[in-house]
């Protein structure tokens, strides 16, 4: 896995093409579609969700420093990170894992479009707007894209009974293949892994077992 972590770290420096694969459109049950629509339409303003304000500010400062080369503007960077943390947390996802996914999918490019038409930061396929959204949902809008992306990944995680590796495969349309899940997990561990009070090692490799 060491070489995958290195490759994932290099993605943060480069400007990769949008990576989203052929994610499959599926028929959703009424209960699932309703739950996803309810999630998409929640109008609560994004905020950091931490046990204390100090912990939230420590996380924001740490992640902001790591993202600065990709997004130099302080206000926009912190706005994005706050939205990522909120949307990931409300979907029951690790915000740092979502940062790794965005790094791999779009390189943090808001207007990225893949070869199969996936859009935005989390490379959401337009068919999801038909399935659980409305014509007013713009997948190039930062908040909308994160809301859809996190809701969709949560849906796949539920299908796979908590198996993140398989859920990531579904998200990319490459279920059963190791490359994409390994890239996301590698990016997460190499660039975004963090615990309150922890000192980040300056390395792109996985720590020794």
The pLDDT of residue 10 is 47
The encoded tokens of residue 42 equal 């929640």
Residue 73 has pLDDT above 50, yes or no: yes
Class of domain 2-14+47-192: mainly alpha
The pLDDT of residue 19 is 57
Convert the pLDDT of each residue in 76-120 to its tens digit.
Answer: 999 999 999 999 999 999 999 999 999 999 999 999 999 999 999
Using CA atoms in the order 102, 187, 80, 40, what is the torsion angle rounded to 10 degrees? 40
Segments making up each domain of the chain, as ranges: 2-14+47-192
Q: Which helix (H) or strand (E) is 78 found in, with range?
A: helix 74-90
The pLDDT of residue 98 is 98
Convert the pLDDT of each residue in 42-70 to its tens digit.
Answer: 888 899 989 899 999 999 999 999 999 99
The encoded tokens of residue 66 equal 């790591």
The pLDDT of residue 126 is 93
Active-site positions? 105
Q: What percent of the chain has pLDDT over 90?
A: 66
The pLDDT of residue 20 is 56
**Lowest model confidence (mean pLDDT) among 102-116, 132-146, 147-161, 195-209:** 195-209
**How far is CA 202 from its chain centroid?**
23
The pLDDT of residue 90 is 93
């Amino acid at each position: 896995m060491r070489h995958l972590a290195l490759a994932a770290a290099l993605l943060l420096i480069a400007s990769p093409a949008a990576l989203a694969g052929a994610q499959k459109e599926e028929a959703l049950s009424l209960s699932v579609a309703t739950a996803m629509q309810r999630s998409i339409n929640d109008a609560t303003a994004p905020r950091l969700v931490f046990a204390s304000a100090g912990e939230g500010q420590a996380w924001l400062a740490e992640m902001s420093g790591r993202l600065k080369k990709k997004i130099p503007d302080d206000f926009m960077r912190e706005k994005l990170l706050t939205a990522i943390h909120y949307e990931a947390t409300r979907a029951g996802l690790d915000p740092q894992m979502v940062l790794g996914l965005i790094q791999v999918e779009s390189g943090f490019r808001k207007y990225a479009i893949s070869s199969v038409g996936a859009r935005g930061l989390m490379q959401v396929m337009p068919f999801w707007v038909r399935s659980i959204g409305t014509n007013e949902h713009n997948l190039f809008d930062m908040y909308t894209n994160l809301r859809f992306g996190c809701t969709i990944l949560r849906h796949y995680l539920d299908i796979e009974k908590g198996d993140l590796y398989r859920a990531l495969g579904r998200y990319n349309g490459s279920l059963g293949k190791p490359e994409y899940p390994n890239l996301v997990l590698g990016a997460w561990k190499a660039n975004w892994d963090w615990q309150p009070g922890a000192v980040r090692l300056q390395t792109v490799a996985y720590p020794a077992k």
